[in-house]
Amino acid sequence: MSTPRGRGRRPAAEDTRGAIVKAAREEFARAGYDAVSMRAIARAAGVDPALLHHYWEGKPALFVETVAVPIDPEAIVANIVDGPREGVGARAVASFFSIWDGPSHRLRFAALLRGAVGSEELARPLREFLVAEVFGRITRETGVEPGPLRAGLSASQLIGVATMRYVVELPPMVEASVEELSVWLGPTLQRYLAD
Amino acid sequence: MSTPRGRGRRPAAEDTRGAIVKAAREEFARAGYDAVSMRAIARAAGVDPALLHHYWEGKPALFVETVAVPIDPEAIVANIVDGPREGVGARAVASFFSIWDGPSHRLRFAALLRGAVGSEELARPLREFLVAEVFGRITRETGVEPGPLRAGLSASQLIGVATMRYVVELPPMVEASVEELSVWLGPTLQRYLAD
């Protein structure tokens, strides 16, 4: 496909940085966090290892960028909690799938899960992100008790679904549409987050 | 601790086989499936690699034994579906925790999850075990539709809980008692499996 600009190349630095992140995502998803070195990522991306150290302080920083999804937790939480209270669960499920249910984001989820399962260093940011930034904010907004446990149960249900749909690929969980899944998951999240 | 027998050692073969399985479980839980070689397990167990090949046909066979829990799926399913229908969810949750909520079984879960996330070869047995042997049998017994999707949702919820409680160690999910968790999870599983 041609770029919108008629002539010249886009700035090479952006291309290269993006290519490195893409290679890193594939390597982390395939082999886990510990097993992948900066050197191996450089090799997969076809660049000099020094370039990786120019862009990122170290492997943790590169990993975080690799699995990050371009989301604004505050906006997502506002979208979930604003509106009729009986729709909190359905809106939480809809937000979750709108973020994760695309092919490149599935790969991010696999990398994130592999990282969190294999490394305490990476489990911590996942815990903090999920609880402080997303589900914990929702239960604070809805005022349910015990908030942290309900936030944890919500994260458990959706992380389990993503594990079975995107990683383990259990056929009925892969074949179901987002709409079918939401019919089942909406009431579960509603009970955990708002009832 | 002394063994019940007053004299002599127990047969060395059993000790050695058990020691290899224990070493393999720790290595798989720590480093994942692909990254661990039969040779590395032999080294960790302090035995000759040839001995591993004497006991097991290959790494997949050793892995399966490593993560296997001594359960009888048929008996578990019978225990869940026999009895009042409104208690199916609560009994499913109780069975799950009775199997997984001990320290050595947590390690098995971590190894199993790392294996299933990292390797299609291992994701397949997990899928088949969960669906054909456990949750799929329950939905066949309770006769709910669509059975395979409801079985998948049940597996998703409990695998998510085990991931957060045993692997990612989200504090509220670790600190909650099995009783507290069951109050929340019982109705979820009841809706998926029997309502």
Contact between B116 and A152 using a beta-carbon 8 Å cutoff: no
Residue B76, token pair as written in the block:
């578990």
Residue-wise pLDDT for B108-150, tens only, equals 888 788 777 767 767 776 777 767 778 999 999 999 999 999 9
Q: State the pLDDT at residue A4.
A: 41
Three-state SS at B84: coil
| B13: closest CA of chain A, how far (Å) | 32
pLDDT band at A73 (very low <50, low <70, confident <90, very high): confident
Please compute the mean of the pLDDT values over residues A147-175 and round it to a whole number.
93
Q: State the pLDDT at residue A125.
A: 67
- CB contact B71 to A (< 8 Å): no
Answer whether B167's CB lies under 8 Å from A117's CB. Answer: yes
Contact between B156 and A163 using a beta-carbon 8 Å cutoff: yes
Measured torsion, CA atoms of residues A20, A22, A27, A28, in degrees rounded to the nearest 10: 100
Tell the residue number behind the tokens 């997502």, with chain if given. A76
Q: State the pLDDT at residue B135.
A: 92
Tell which residue, A153, A59, A51, has the closest CA to residue A111.
Answer: A59
* DSSP codes, chain A: ---SSSSSPPPHHHHHHHHHHHHHHHHHHHH-STT--HHHHHHHHTS-HHHHHHH-SSHHHHHHHHH--S--HHHHHHHHHSS-GGGHHHHHHHHHHHHH-SHHHHHHHHHHHHHHHH-HHHHHHHHHIIIIIIIHHHHHHHT-SSHHHHHHHHHHHHHHHHIIIIIS--HHHHHS-HHHHHHHHHHHHHHHHT-
Q: Quick count: other Cβ atoms within 10 Å of Cβ A38?
A: 17
Contact between A149 and B173 using a beta-carbon 8 Å cutoff: yes
Question: How many Å apart are CA B31 and CA A32, to the nearest integer?
Answer: 9
**What residues in B contact A149, CB-CB < 8 Å?**
172-173, 176, 180, 184
Residue type, B184: W
Q: List the 141-180 stretch of A: residues with Cβ below 8 A of B.
A: 146, 148-153, 155-161, 163-165, 167-173, 176, 180
Tell the residue number behind the tokens 């660049």, with chain if given. A47
Residue-wise pLDDT for B36-80, tens only, equals 899 999 999 999 999 999 999 888 888 878 877 777 888 899 999
Residue-wise pLDDT for B71-119, tens only, equals 788 889 999 999 999 999 999 999 999 988 887 788 888 878 877 776 7
Which residue of B153, B160, B172 is in closest CB contact with A148?
B172
Answer whether B6's CB lies under 8 Å from B15's CB. Answer: no
Checking if the pLDDT of A53 tops 80, the result is: yes
What percentage of chain B exceeds 70 in pLDDT? 89
Residue A33, token pair as written in the block:
């966090």
* DSSP codes, B1-43: ---SSSSSPPPHHHHHHHHHHHHHHHHHHHH-STT--HHHHHH
| DSSP symbol at B72 | -
Question: How many Å apart are CA B113 and CA B29, to the nearest integer?
Answer: 9
Question: How many Å apart are CA B65 and CA A29, to the nearest integer?
Answer: 26
Answer whether B23's CB lies under 8 Å from B44's CB. Answer: yes
Instruction: Give how far Cα A150 sits from Cα of A145, A187, B154, Å.
Output: 7, 14, 18
Question: How many Å apart are CA A154 and CA A130, to the nearest integer?
Answer: 10
Checking if the pLDDT of A88 tops 50, the result is: yes
